[in-house]
Amino acid sequence: SDHRLEYPISPAHMDWTKLYPYYIDPEDSSKLTKQVTIADIGCGFGGLMVDLAPEFKENLILGMEIRVQVTNYVEDRIIALRQQNLNSEEANYQNINVIRGNAMKFLPNFFEKSQLEKIFFCFPDPHFKQRKHKARIVTNTLLSEYAYVLKEGGVIYTITDVLDLHEWMVKHLDEHPLFERLDEEFEKTDPCVRIMTHSTEEGKKVERNKGSKYIKCYRRLPNSAVL
Ligand code: SAM
């Protein structure tokens, strides 16, 4: 349960300096010089962020994970990576971090309207049973929340090995007026699609078991699309 989780009452109340100290604003130490623009929802053990870090050096990347032990593991992993790569040109891992939180409840407490460029849903929990479907991370209501925090032109990335969940996510995203499905050409050429296909721990497990991976990406349309 998440009644003991702490959330900022608004994005302005969120202290990001502990998560990304490398980016503290020299003129105002309570702020960063950048905002988080990439979110990995249900990041698990953090493999996606670790591989995104060198590719998106200019972006701050945040994983959100509900399980305590898993969040602690990712925190420790990032501390170690930062220490091991202090002077690395390729990646210093200062641009990634994780918070424990329920992404289905409090995203707008963390992110301002249009703040994010990319949101990842990698191998979300399938919640197979019919009566559990409302617990899925993609629903009409939640998509409107994701649309709120995503900027125009921003992208939602989805990948799963569960066909039923894939069809569910595609159906809801297709139906939502603020999202437009991206084509195969995008999937073939976008670096994030390649990374999310192979980087996450769950994706590696699926690979070992020779399972399928279903991918779809959606672009956030301008609000005028619904007028
Ligand atoms: N994305 C990772 C990967 O591909 O390896 C993890 C996939 S795992 C099957 C799903 C993860 O989502 C779990 O770590 C779970 O704790 C997390 N999760 C489930 N519901 C969540 C929620 N409401 N908010 C944040 N994380 C959640």
Q: What is the ipTM of this complex?
A: 0.99
Cα distance between residue 148 and residue 181, in whole Å: 17
From the CA of 125, how far away is ligand 1's center (Å)? 6
The whole-number mean pLDDT for each consecutive block of 10 residues of the chain, a chain of 227 residues, reads 75 96 97 98 98 98 97 98 96 97 92 98 92 86 96 98 96 97 98 97 97 98 88
Q: Which domains does the chain have, with CATH numbers?
A: 11-226 (3.40.50.150)
3-state secondary structure of 199: coil
Task: Compute the half-sphere exposure of residue 183: CA atoms within 13 Å on the CB side of its CA.
Answer: 1
What is the predicted pLDDT for the residue at 3? 57
Q: What residue spans of the chain are helical by DSSP H?
A: 47-55, 68-84, 103-110, 140-149, 163-175, 184-189, 191-198, 201-208
Each as own residue / partner, the long-range contacts of residues 203-212 (CB below 8 Å, 24 or more positions apart, any chain) are 203/47, 203/122, 203/123, 203/159, 204/47, 206/123, 206/161, 211/161, 212/161, 212/163
Each as own residue / partner, the long-range contacts of residues 100-103 (CB below 8 Å, 24 or more positions apart, any chain) are 100/5, 100/64, 100/65, 100/66, 100/67, 100/68, 100/71, 101/2, 101/5, 101/7, 101/64, 101/65, 101/66, 102/2, 102/5, 102/66, 103/41, 103/42, 103/64, 103/66, 103/137
Q: Which of 193, 159, 149 is nearest to 39 (CA)?
A: 149
Does 119 belong to an annotated binding site? no
Atom number, ligand 1, closest to the C-alpha of residue 47: 5
Q: Which of 146, 148, 139 is nearest to 172 (CA)?
A: 139
- Percentages helix, strand, coil for the chain, rounded to the nearest 5? 40, 25, 35
What is the predicted pLDDT for the residue at 226? 83
Q: How far is CA 181 from CA 53, 172, 176, in A?
A: 26, 11, 10
Nearest residue (by CA) to ligand 1, atom 12, is 42
Nearest residue (by CA) to ligand 1, atom 15, is 42
Catalytic residue among 125, 161, 174, 190: 125
From the CA of 123, how far away is ligand 1's center (Å)? 8
pTM, two decimals, is 0.96
Atom number, ligand 1, closest to the C-alpha of residue 204: 5
Does 42 belong to an annotated binding site? yes
Cα Rg, the chain, nearest whole Å: 17
Kindly compute the dihedral angle of the four CA atoms of residues 62, 67, 70, 76, in this order, to the nearest 10 degrees. Answer: 60
> Is 190 considered catalytic here?
no
Nearest residue (by CA) to ligand 1, atom 23, is 102
Structure tokens at 148: 């709120």
Residues with CB under 6 Å of ligand 1 are 42-44, 64-67, 70, 102-104, 122-125, 200-203
From the CA of 66, how far away is ligand 1's center (Å)? 7
Atom number, ligand 1, closest to the C-alpha of residue 124: 10
